[in-house]
Chains A and B, each alone.
Chain A
Amino acid sequence: MNFDFSDDQKMLKEQVSKFLSDKCGYDVVRRVLESDELYAEDVWKGLVEMGLTGTAIPEEYGGLGLGALELCVVAEELGRVAAPVPFSSSVFLATEAIKLAGSEEQKQKYLPKLAAGEIIGTLAMAEGTNAPSPRTVKASLKGGKLTGTKMPVPDGEIADIAVVLVNTGGSGDKALSLAIVELNGSGISKEQLKTIDPTRGQAALKFDGAAAELMGAEGEGWDLVRRVLDGAAVWTAFEQVGGAETAMWMARDYALERYAFGRQIGSYQAIKHKLADMYVKIELARSNSYYGAMMLNDNGAELVEAAAAARISATQAYIYAAQENIQTHGGIGYTWEANTQFFYRRAKLLALSLGSPLYWRERLVTQLEARNAA
């Protein structure tokens, strides 16, 4: 039984943790929240210099050639400090989509630049307030021209390239395809969106005949994007577990220092049980995330269930820890000055950004039904 990260992976985790605790404190998150900055460029540059953007990119494309497990430990540390950087968009989504669906030429063209941090990538799926699916995606790709509006697109305003989910007119699930588009060309307008978490920028991208290339086979977009999301769900689960732990310890520390009715509020069972429940949910999420990591790394047969379980439990853990952290703080936790808000915002952002809990429960149960019938 060796259900743990290796010593090398733990060492990488330490390095990332040390860098982020030096360079990405609450002051940085607040700076991005309160200013017009779209992301913490200084922190991003540091991550790029450490080679982390190329963690899981093969060496032949300029990456470090490490695997899914290394990205898990990086994700957890990014989540722990609520880092305001486009790591998930560029690494978990765009890079992985290109690795999965890109032609050799597309890989040669983009992966080395993504690895080196010369460009930032993203994945554009949603088109407003309906869940993206073969029934709702309308953006079209005809004759190399992309038309339609995608929003919200994570880091859409700073991204250089986007993998876009488009409708190519096939029937049913075959209606969708993936396209890749360079965002600095003509026929593209970008507009920053107002969202619940301004520490992670989101944009509306309007395409009006922008030059784009098909990526992967036509009609395979829905299948491909769901596979990309399965992987991203595992890494994001680690990010969520990291954030949830910070929220839990923040609540714990406050429960020790705050006195009410003549004693520490952490001595009341109403608070103790709330914190114990945070711990329970986080450990369930961590364990499910480990299994997701293992399936992702091995490309295992249970990846779909494992990714969905990791995603569902990590979302529950982070949402609960973030909201009950505010509750534990009482009034001070609801002020603008308090740092509790960073995690409340981020927890909900991450809960929705790869598809809501409704999507993931359905993906899980559909898979379980298929297995149960088999």
Chain B
Amino acid sequence: MDFNDTQEEAAYRAEVRKWLDANAKRKASKKDTLDALSGADALQRAKDWQRKKAEAGFACITWPKEYGGQGGTSIQSVIYSQEEANYLVPTGFYDIGLGMCIPTVLAWGTEEHKARYVGPAIRGEEIWCQLFSEPAGGSDVAGLRTRAEKDGDEWVINGQKVWTSGAHYCDYGIVVVRTDPTVPKHKGLTMFIVDMKSPGVEVRPIRQMSGEANFNEVFFTDVRVPDSDRLGQPGDGWKVALTTLMNERLAVGGGGGADWSELVDLARDAELADGPAINNGAVRERIAQWYVETQGLKYTKFRTLTALSKGQTPGPESSISKIVSAPKMQELGSFAMDLQDIGGIIRDRDISAQNATFQNQWFGGAGYRIAGGTDEILRNIVAERVLGLPQDIRVDKNVPFNEMPKGK
């Protein structure tokens, strides 16, 4: 057992590093971040970086060459990401488009779609968002109500989507809508590519309970989409959406935030009524627990990478990541607030320990446990796909959508 690269991997890593050294600034420490820029400037910086990467052949490494990818291996893609993480480069704008939307276009699109959309997306010229969730369709996303009606060679979309990251700066989106309400819910859906600048598309930020606004709701009012921008057949929308969602579970990983070592730092500083928190047995137990979970996830990832390195399909073990990391993020934040005792209620960068990172994470964790598959949905997936347990009985399975009881 070792964590070493193969000869080819080492050579590729060296090539990546050489290019990054020449084109980006290396982080002084792990916590080093880019200077904050305002919205438009941050976007331009991200676009410039994506173009550079694409020109050098480090964008969308695993995609086929004929559509502008590199035809590389999964492990090369991982190596690039590992190395890039050590440099100060803009991140975030392209994760959903290149992580979820364009893979769906590659899987379901026509040759015309691929020729038109994939190249500009790789070069960062066009940014994509995903329009699936609705007020009436979260975990049960197939219960969505946004509808599209055929009108000649076009479809007319009306309805509302929610939790759309980046909708305000995106050029295109993939949107799943109901095209036939007279059949059971999974069978009446269709997926379209939608131009986000179309008349009738209105984007409004959603204010989260944490006070920030990282997502949007998107309203569709008589938005016209040509039939040629349909992905898959009418009625195939659910199958197409599953392709995207499978990619989502890979894209929404990590979680990040403060972990056991930040908690050790805090516990060294924090004074409880009976002495330093680091000497408290309950505190030590939590440190041990979160260390074990973090290490367990790290080495689970290494097992997955080993399979990729050998050109094998990874096992299902990677499906545990968010089930563990999301509650940990919330609970660790909460416990670290406990260590600040009465003062733990203060959420102020200048007063709270470690710039209020724990208070922020306590809020963020509540959302992270829901985003990209709730704790509960992810457990269902493990139970059904890994352990082979049956699906729950679905009372709506064979009922036409327009005859289904609907709550709020």
The A/B interface has a contact count, at CB < 8 Å, of 161
Asked if A284 and B296 make an inter-chain contact with CB atoms under 8 angstroms apart, the answer reads yes
Cα–Cα, bound, A329→B305 (Å) = 37
Cα–Cα, bound, A252→B305 (Å) = 28
Q: Which residues of chain B in 364-392 are interfacial with respect to chain A, using CB atoms and an 8 Å cutoff?
A: 376, 378-380, 382-384, 386-392
Asked if A364 and B288 make an inter-chain contact with CB atoms under 8 angstroms apart, the answer reads yes
Asked if B264 and A3 make an inter-chain contact with CB atoms under 8 angstroms apart, the answer reads no
Determine if A95 is an interface residue (Cβ-Cβ < 8 Å).
no
Asked if B284 and A362 make an inter-chain contact with CB atoms under 8 angstroms apart, the answer reads yes
Task: Choose from A255, A267, A309 the contact partner of B292 (Cβ within 8 Å).
Answer: A309
Chain A min CB distance to B6 (Å):
8
CB-CB under 8 A for A313 and B292, given A267-B391, A279-B382, A297-B1: yes
Map CB proximity to B onto A247-283 as digits: 1 under 8 Å, 0 otherwise: 0100010011000000110111101110111011001
Determine if B42 is an interface residue (Cβ-Cβ < 8 Å).
no
Selected interface stretch from B122-130, B188-196, B316-324: B316-324
Chain B min CB distance to A36 (Å):
39
Interface of chain B, helix or strand or loop or mixed?
A: helix
Determine if A129 is an interface residue (Cβ-Cβ < 8 Å).
no
Determine if A179 is an interface residue (Cβ-Cβ < 8 Å).
no
Centre residue among B75, B303, B309 by max chain A CB count within 10 A = B303
Asked if B1 and A361 make an inter-chain contact with CB atoms under 8 angstroms apart, the answer reads no
Set of chain A residues within 8 Å of B300, measured between Cβ atoms: 283-284, 286-287
Determine if A69 is an interface residue (Cβ-Cβ < 8 Å).
yes
Asked if A277 and B291 make an inter-chain contact with CB atoms under 8 angstroms apart, the answer reads no
Asked if B265 and A372 make an inter-chain contact with CB atoms under 8 angstroms apart, the answer reads yes
Asked if A3 and B306 make an inter-chain contact with CB atoms under 8 angstroms apart, the answer reads yes
Task: Choose from A4, A268, A306 the contact partner of B306 (Cβ within 8 Å).
Answer: A4
Determine if B81 is an interface residue (Cβ-Cβ < 8 Å).
no
Chain A min CB distance to B253 (Å):
15
Which residue of chain B has the shortest Cβ distance to A362 in the bound complex?
A: B284
Asked if A3 and B392 make an inter-chain contact with CB atoms under 8 angstroms apart, the answer reads no
Set of chain A residues within 8 Å of B302, measured between Cβ atoms: 1, 3, 287, 290
Cα–Cα, bound, A239→B97 (Å) = 44
Chain B min CB distance to A301 (Å):
14
Asked if A272 and B1 make an inter-chain contact with CB atoms under 8 angstroms apart, the answer reads no
Cα–Cα, bound, A369→B280 (Å) = 13
Chain A min CB distance to B287 (Å):
5
Asked if A1 and B306 make an inter-chain contact with CB atoms under 8 angstroms apart, the answer reads yes
Centre residue among B3, B293, B299, B308 by max chain A CB count within 10 A = B299
Task: Choose from A276, A283, A305, A365 the contact partner of B379 (Cβ within 8 Å).
Answer: A276
Determine if A291 is an interface residue (Cβ-Cβ < 8 Å).
yes
Set of chain A residues within 8 Å of B89, measured between Cβ atoms: none
B contact residues, range: 35 or more
Determine if B278 is an interface residue (Cβ-Cβ < 8 Å).
yes
Chain B min CB distance to A296 (Å):
10
Task: Choose from A2, A255, A272, A369 the contact partner of B380 (Cβ within 8 Å).
Answer: A272
CB-CB under 8 A for A2 and B4, given A280-B382, A283-B320, A309-B292: yes
Centre residue among B260, B265, B291, B317 by max chain A CB count within 10 A = B291
Asked if A287 and B299 make an inter-chain contact with CB atoms under 8 angstroms apart, the answer reads yes
Determine if B5 is an interface residue (Cβ-Cβ < 8 Å).
yes
Asked if A365 and B306 make an inter-chain contact with CB atoms under 8 angstroms apart, the answer reads no
Asked if B382 and A276 make an inter-chain contact with CB atoms under 8 angstroms apart, the answer reads yes
CB-CB under 8 A for A269 and B392, given A4-B1, A280-B382, A288-B296: yes
Set of chain A residues within 8 Å of B153, measured between Cβ atoms: none
Set of chain B residues within 8 Å of A263, measured between Cβ atoms: 393
Asked if B3 and A273 make an inter-chain contact with CB atoms under 8 angstroms apart, the answer reads no
Chain B min CB distance to A37 (Å):
35
Asked if B303 and A312 make an inter-chain contact with CB atoms under 8 angstroms apart, the answer reads no
Determine if A294 is an interface residue (Cβ-Cβ < 8 Å).
yes
Set of chain A residues within 8 Å of B268, measured between Cβ atoms: 372
Cα–Cα, bound, A362→B289 (Å) = 11
Chain A min CB distance to B357 (Å):
17
Cα–Cα, bound, A316→B289 (Å) = 10
Which residue of chain A has the shortest Cβ distance to B309 in the bound complex?
A: A1
Which residue of chain A has the shortest Cβ distance to B317 in the bound complex?
A: A283
Cα–Cα, bound, A306→B383 (Å) = 29
Map CB proximity to B onto A60-94 as digits: 1 under 8 Å, 0 otherwise: 00000000010000000000000000000000000
Task: Choose from B264, B284, B303, B390 the contact partner of A372 (Cβ within 8 Å).
Answer: B264
Determine if A175 is an interface residue (Cβ-Cβ < 8 Å).
no
Given A256-B389, A298-B1, 10 extra CB contacts under 8 A: A2-B1, A256-B388, A263-B393, A276-B380, A280-B320, A287-B299, A288-B292, A294-B1, A368-B291, A369-B264
Could you tell me which B residues sit within 8 Å of A by CB distance? 1-5, 9, 75, 260-261, 264-265, 268, 278, 284-285, 287-289, 291-293, 295-300, 302-303, 305-309, 317, 320, 323-324, 376, 378-380, 382-384, 386-393
Counting from the closest, the 9 A-B pairs by CB-CB distance are: A284-B296, A272-B383, A287-B299, A276-B379, A361-B288, A276-B382, A287-B300, A266-B389, A294-B1
